[in-house]
A and B are shown apart, each in its own frame.
Chain A
Amino acid sequence: MLTVTLYIGFAAVIAAMAMNLYRLLAGPTAEDRVLALDTLYINAIALILLVSIQFADRIYFEAALLIAMMGFVGTIALAKYLGRGALMD
């Protein structure tokens, strides 16, 4: 039962990541790319959690935590760059 759920979960997350990648590479404006990257980070969190469930190992949870925090900072930096250019005013 869990296996089937995991398969569906993986398929969904991978599809989502593929779509993010497409938008990142194709997105006509820079803002599109930044949003795609941020969403890619979130999907990566989901992927890590699915992997942890499959391997029944809690050891990777901190990586997910780090992506959550660090992805946020990365997106801030990109947004500030696109907004005013100067990151640290």
Chain B
Amino acid sequence: MKLLLIVLLPLAGIVLPPVLVRAGRTASAWAAATPTALALVLLAGMAPTVFEGGVVEASWPWMPALGLNLAFFLDGFGLLFAGLILGIGLLIILYARYYLSEDDPMGRFYAMLLAFMGAMLGIVLSDNILLLVVFWELTSISSFLLIGYWRHRADARQGARMALAVTGAGGLCLLAAAILLGHVVGSYQLQAILAAGDTITASPLYLPILGLVLLGAFTKSAQVPFHFWLPHAMAAPTPVSAYLHSATMVKAGVFLIARLYPALSGTEEWFVLVTVIGLATMVFGAYGALFKDDLKGLLAYSTISHLGLITLLFGLNTQAGVIAGVFHIINHATFKASLFMSAGIIDHETGTRDIRKLGGLRHYMPVTMWLAAIAAASMAGVPLFNGFLSKEMFFTEVVVESERLGGIGWLLPVFATIGGLLSAAYSLRFVHDVFFGDETGALPRHPHEPPRYMRVPVEILILICVVVGVVPSLAISTVLATAAGGVLLQAPEPFSLALWHGFNVPLVMSVLALAGAVALYYQRDAAERWHERTFPAFTGKGCFESVLAGAIAASRRLTAWLDDGSVQRNVVLVIGTAVVMAAAGGITGGLDAGSRALTPAPLPAVAVWLMGVIATVVVALRHHDRFLALVATGVVGLLSALTFIYISAPDLALTQLSVEVVSTVLLLLALNVLPKETPHESSPGRRWRDGVLAVAGGGGIAALAYAAMTRPLDSISRYFLETSVPGGGGHNVVNVILVDFRGFDTFGEITVLGIAALCVYALIRDEAHTMASADTEARHPRMLLIGSRVMLPLLAVVTVYVFLRGHNQPGGGFIAGLIAAVAMVTQYMASGVHWTEQRLTGNYFPMIGAGLLTAGFTGLASWLFDVPFLTSTFSHVNWPVVGDFEIASAVAFDLGVFLTVVGSVVLMLSQFGKQQPPVEGR
């Protein structure tokens, strides 16, 4: 339970900062710090168990059918990372309180930060690999939101988009890898996967899994060639850069590599892929950092380089490499976060991050200078600081590995030294160019020391750097051993964290790197000129944007080719495909009539059918005269209703008749503002093609229906007919299906109807209604006035009657709703908009809303009785005059349907009605 709380506390705390920011920015910061601190306390409480070698576990089923469980576990490695996330998170919260300006919405910032924190904790504590992927994606999204925090800046938006695209793609690869891993191991539980290392490496799916996992890890940790998003993510506020893009989020990739180390490592493929990419990234990142003019850009490339270093260490397949890797994770987090915060302080106090404009700041911010200098020295690998120790371990491992490789193995230490050299060089540049040297006088603000509490987080981190650097065994060796034990799944062999190992090759490499860095630094102008001559301006962002633009252009071309906006073309494609496929089936399988006897066709029925056919053909042939087409369509509708009556479907007939009128009114409203004639647009050849296709399609379906109906068929209608009364309490099976058996579907449909009505309103909203100046008699004929007003109460009675009898006789909410809507529309037509809306309401939104809410609450009410949503009940009632009848709770649902239908239909028709341009005569 406590494990779940650790993850949930930051997530639950998301709502606090935006609410409390009204009480002040400090209150908001406390609101963000409290859940973090609580989680940290809980974590510390569990630490003793982990240090003794135990593992804390907790799990709950979530979607067992998919293998996804809410499972968490805490081992040494997870403890380390969770401690880093929460501890540095607290410091960042304090720092951000002073960094963000008065205009920046602080509540939103802290909310997103807490969201990220919770997601990151989910990654490191998760025991189910699918759960890990879920949290992985959550970190991508929250990082996207945080990078784009300053929404008004284009570079922030582009950087956020790029980060999301790259890390999201990686997340997709990771999901594929997770599924493959679960398939190979047989379980999605992470501990099971870690124990099954031999199975995985021996399986034929090993290479795809490895490739996909590495894709996910490398995109997240900005390894070459996926590194280009990280420098652009520097458009985020500095607290975000310090937290996400140096200490935690980018570490998620190396976390994954370390976490899956027992499962995937030990093979040559692992060694080649991970080590080579790590090495390339390390050198490339360090080289890129040297020539950057932006403080944060320099630090971004330096982060890329150090992550490459860590990756390389994990790629070496050795225990000592793992220990060194874990150690560097810790060290890098401390000095990089403090460096970013220092860069933020410089930016905050001077107004610029451009190194070319900065200089001589040691006079104005001496304390900051010392802090930044120590952090940079740690980054460069200067002795007595923690960076030196992990660098030494790195060099040692590289040398050992090169001896093991033989042959070209000597390249490894050479490149490592070059990497260290460049790393020291840019660290020197960071300190010297900014704090020493001459002032340029180009600073926007007069620099001074930052507010006390803005510096405190940096001081704490620097303290850790120094303590670990001076007395490492005392400070960190237990933590390191436990964490490394978590990665290796066993206690690591004893290792030495001493500062002095004697004169050996790694020491020589360190000295060479430092000396070379100083030399390079003093020749940096020449180096920069060489760099600009040698390497063309070829940016990662340029590639990314052009790939994206190419993909968009290609998909636009494909869509335009398939769908050029012509409805006719779409219909031809759809019906043509259906005809072809059905014909293929009919020809290969055969299509013949069944054996059931045909029922007799009385002459009146045939006559009615014939009339319907004639009317339809007339619509098709004479459609250019739109009025005739409209009237003929009305005939077809009426005859369809008669057909329904003939085949014993009274509900359908009632619905058809009601909808017929509403459609006619709607079409007339539209026809009034459209041309009265359809233009002749298609050639005779095309008409013949369409005609043949239509006959083939319609005729084919008719043949299919005939063949189906002449075969003995046992359909689901038997179930409904049998259970309608005992299960639903109604004799009208159609209505019982609509509001009871398939009530959820009806609920969805009335929601869609409401949305459609609102869309119509939104599209043709036009408040200006010009009142015509013609005389009243012509506008509102008296006979129509009287007739409609007399009809209104009659229609109301019929509405109520049809509504109430719906459950047992033909009728129901939908039909009643349509009748009521027609009654109201008649008033609009007879007496005009103004008169009607004074007496009825002109605002139909409450009606739609009330209908949907009624239907929804009827469904929810069944939860009170501990049954599923929309279960209905019924009982018998005996009233004096009326007699004995059943009443079902579905009546309330039907009421909801009724209200929604009335509101939607009248809203749509009245909106259209208000658009009419008044016309004199005809």
Contacts and interface: CB of A to CB of B under 8 A. Distances in A.
A70 B658 contact: yes
A74 B654 contact: no
Interface of B: 603-604, 607-608, 611, 614-615, 618, 627-628, 631-632, 634-635, 638, 641-642, 645-646, 650, 653-654, 657-658, 660-661, 664-665, 668-669, 671-672, 772, 774, 778-780, 784, 787-788, 791, 794-795, 798, 802, 809-811, 819, 822, 825-826, 828-830, 832-833, 910, 913-914, 916-922
A3 B865 CA distance: 56
A60 B645 contact: yes
Given A14-B608, A77-B665, A87 B819 contact: no
Contacts of B921: 83-84
Nearest to A41: B638
Given A48-B645, A62-B810, A74-B661, A40 B654 contact: no
B657 A86 contact: no
Interface string A70-89: 11111011101111111111
Contacts of A63: 641, 645, 650, 653-654, 657, 810
9 contacts: A24-B631, A25-B618, A25-B632, A59-B650, A62-B802, A66-B658, A76-B826, A82-B922, A86-B918
A85 B627 contact: no
A69 B798 contact: yes
Given A37-B634, A48-B642, A73-B822, A86 B922 contact: no
Given A62-B802, A78-B664, A88 B634 contact: no
Contact of A85 (B645, B830, B916): B916
Contacts of B654: 62-63, 66
A81 B671 contact: yes
A47 B642 contact: yes
A51 B829 contact: no
Contact of A80 (B774, B829, B833): B829
Nearest to B614: A21
Given A21-B615, A83-B922, A69 B631 contact: no
Contacts of A53: none
Given A14-B604, A37-B635, A66 B627 contact: no
B841 to A, nearest CB: 16
A23 to B, nearest CB: 11
A66 B819 contact: yes
Contacts of A30: 627
A81 B630 CA distance: 12
A15 to B, nearest CB: 9
Dominant secondary structure at the A interface: helix
B46 to A, nearest CB: 72
Given A78-B664, A87-B916, A24 B791 contact: no
A81 B665 CA distance: 9
Nearest to A48: B645
Q: Interface on chain B toward A: helix, strand, loop, or mixed SS?
A: helix
Contacts of B918: 84-86, 89
B791 A69 contact: yes
B631 A89 contact: no
Given A10-B604, A77-B829, 13 more contacts: A24-B631, A33-B628, A47-B604, A59-B810, A62-B802, A70-B658, A71-B661, A73-B822, A76-B784, A77-B664, A85-B919, A87-B669, A89-B918
A8 to B, nearest CB: 12
B922 A88 contact: no
Contacts of B658: 66, 70
Contacts of A59: 650, 809-810
B611 A86 contact: no
Lowest 7 A-B CB distances belong to which pairs? A88-B913, A85-B919, A86-B916, A70-B661, A88-B828, A89-B779, A81-B668
Interface residues of A, number: 44
Contacts of B910: 88
A23 B829 CA distance: 27
Interface of A: 10, 13-14, 17-18, 21, 24-25, 30, 33-34, 37, 40-41, 44, 47-48, 51, 59-60, 62-63, 65-67, 69-74, 76-78, 80-89
Given A84-B920, A89-B918, A62 B811 contact: yes
A85 B672 contact: yes
A73 B798 contact: no
Contacts of A40: 635, 638
B542 to A, nearest CB: 59
Contacts of A77: 661, 664-665, 668, 829
> Which among A17, A48, A74 has the greatest number of chain B C-beta atoms within 10 A?
A74
Contacts of A25: 614-615, 618, 628, 632
Contact of B607 (A18, A66, A89): A18
B661 to A, nearest CB: 4
A69 B658 CA distance: 10
Contacts of B795: 69
A14 to B, nearest CB: 5
B786 to A, nearest CB: 13
A44 B638 contact: yes
A77 B217 CA distance: 68
Among A25, A33, A63, max chain B CB count under 10 A is at A63
A10 B603 contact: yes
A73 to B, nearest CB: 5
Contacts of B635: 21, 24, 37, 40
A73 B608 CA distance: 23
Contact of B672 (A73, A74, A81): A81
Contact of A78 (B631, B642, B645, B772): B631
Given A51-B646, A73-B822, A73-B826, A88 B916 contact: yes
A63 B821 CA distance: 17
Given A10-B603, A81-B671, A76 B830 contact: yes
A67 B645 contact: no
Contacts of A78: 631, 664, 668
Contacts of B653: 60, 63
Nearest to B815: A66
B844 to A, nearest CB: 14
Contacts of A72: 787, 791
B668 A87 contact: yes
Nearest to B779: A89
Nearest to A81: B668
Contact of A67 (B657, B794, B833, B914): B657
A33 B633 CA distance: 12
Given A69-B795, A84-B779, A17 B611 contact: yes
A71 B637 CA distance: 12
A89 B833 contact: yes
A82 B604 CA distance: 33
A64 to B, nearest CB: 9
Contacts of B628: 25, 33
